[in-house]
Amino acid sequence: MKLGLFSDTHFGFAEGTERESECFENAVKALKICFDSQVDAILVSGDIFDESLPSPETLSRSFDVFLHAFQKPKRQLTIKVHSKHGEKEFDFSGIPVVAIHGNHDCRSIGKTNILEVFHKSGMLAYLQPGKAMIEKGGEKVFVHGLSAVPEKKARDVLSLWNPVPVPGCTNVLLLHQAFKEFLPFQDDSIASLSLEDLPKGFDLIVNGHLHWVDTHKIGETIFVLNGSTVTTQMKKLESVKEKGVFVFDTESKKLDFFPLPAQRKLFYFDLKFENAKPQEVLEKARQALQSCKVDTGIVPLARLKLSGSLAIGTSSLDVDLSEALSEVKGKAIVSVSKNFFSNSFKKKITDLRSAQKSKQSIASMGLEILEKNLAETDFGEAFDAQEVFELLSEDKIEEAATAVLSKK
């Protein structure tokens, strides 16, 4: 059997903007790859929808996408799903789709999930968690699926659910979680799972959620990060890795990757500054944006990540990029994040740290900070900082103000 794998189609993403059709168009491209590869079934690892309550417009367009799969010739196979909703046998008219929900299309316990509606309509088989048996000729493939759960509970939920591969058959596991190995920091609320927590004995484990593609071999198991079919958050890895579809052959255990044709390119700029004047930031941003050239005719995405420190007396509010942005209007779709330290703030933190190290008393630390702050104002040494500080520390605000103003 051949299985087509893609994930995170995010139907409804960027609704109402110039990118609103992209999620649907890319999903159709992914389906076309599946059809051309003559897959027997399609497995989707979560985040089919961008939101848990998609708009009627999104739902309608999603039906159109799924109908593509339905219009294909019927595969001679049966699908039986065993999930918390009971047993259900599917009779797909075209290529069957088996899916789990992700963190985007998840709803709280007791509420009806949108994938449940699709499951009832017979358009896809939804595992929450559950197990689908796909049978063709004499071959059986078991797809075990755990829909997204809160990250900090993922490790416990997976070990409690404890999916066991069915002997003598191909076994696939679908997940939609973060993994420690793919994140730059350790935080259990963001990822409690490691690759070593994965159950053993599966032929293939396919994970959605992380929007770039990657593959690993864990013992005999192939682990696949499926990536998304559409760029949503503009992560750095998405700028270097293509989006696409994996096709897994259950007999040869071969995994092939097919990139989506005509992808929207993402340019990613991580620009760091030190003591920079706003004009300098603007110039660097302008240069970066002007370099975003493509020959595909598809307007690229540009992610500008600006960070570091700005010159004393300036703040991130002074960094006005509107000029650079208007120059690339229609030529790039830009997203900017500014994370500047104002230099004086950074200096205060450094001062506090060194004071902490020298174990000064709170009072002398306070006095030092006051003196340094005053040195940056035009008060200069116009009055006795020690006197003012003592008045302030005794809550004699009026007297402190009088002492300052009388000397000014």
Q: Which residues lie near Mn ion (CB under 5 A)?
A: 8, 47
Using CA atoms, how far apart are residues 334 and 321, in angstroms rounded to an integer?
A: 11
Smaller CB separation from Mn ion, 47 or 238:
47
Query: From the CB of 50, what's the least distance to Mn ion, in Å?
Result: 8
Contact 361, 389 (CB under 8 A): no
Considering the complex, state which of residue 141 and residue 245 has its C-beta at the smaller distance from Mn ion. Answer: 245
Q: Which is nearer to Mn ion, 236 or 277 (CB)?
A: 236
Question: Minimal distance in Å, beta carbon 211 to Mn ion?
Answer: 6
Q: Give the whole-angstrom CA distance, residue 45 versus residue 277.
A: 46
Chain centroid, CA 88 distance in Å: 33
Residue whose beta carbon is closest to Mn ion: 47
Between 127 and 306, name the residue whose CB sits nearer to Mn ion.
127
Phi then psi dihedrals of residue 285, to 5 deg: -65, -40
Q: Are 318 and 283 in contact (CB under 8 A)?
A: no
Minimal distance, residue 11 CB to Mn ion, in Å: 11
Amino acid in the structure at residue 361: S
> In whole angstroms, how close is the CB of 103 to Mn ion at the nearest point?
7
Shortest Å distance, C-beta 1 to Mn ion: 27
C-beta of 193 vs 276, nearer to Mn ion? 193
Cβ nearer to Mn ion, comparing 146 with 319:
146
Minimum distance from CB of 126 to Mn ion (Å)? Answer: 17
DSSP letter string, 236-288: HHHHHS--EEEEEETTTTEEEEEEPSSPPPEEEEEEEEEEE-HHHHHHHHHHH
Residues 6+ apart with CB under 8 A from 4: 30, 33, 34, 37, 39, 41, 42, 43, 95, 245, 246, 247
Of 209, 213, 239, 212, the C-alpha closest to 304 is 239
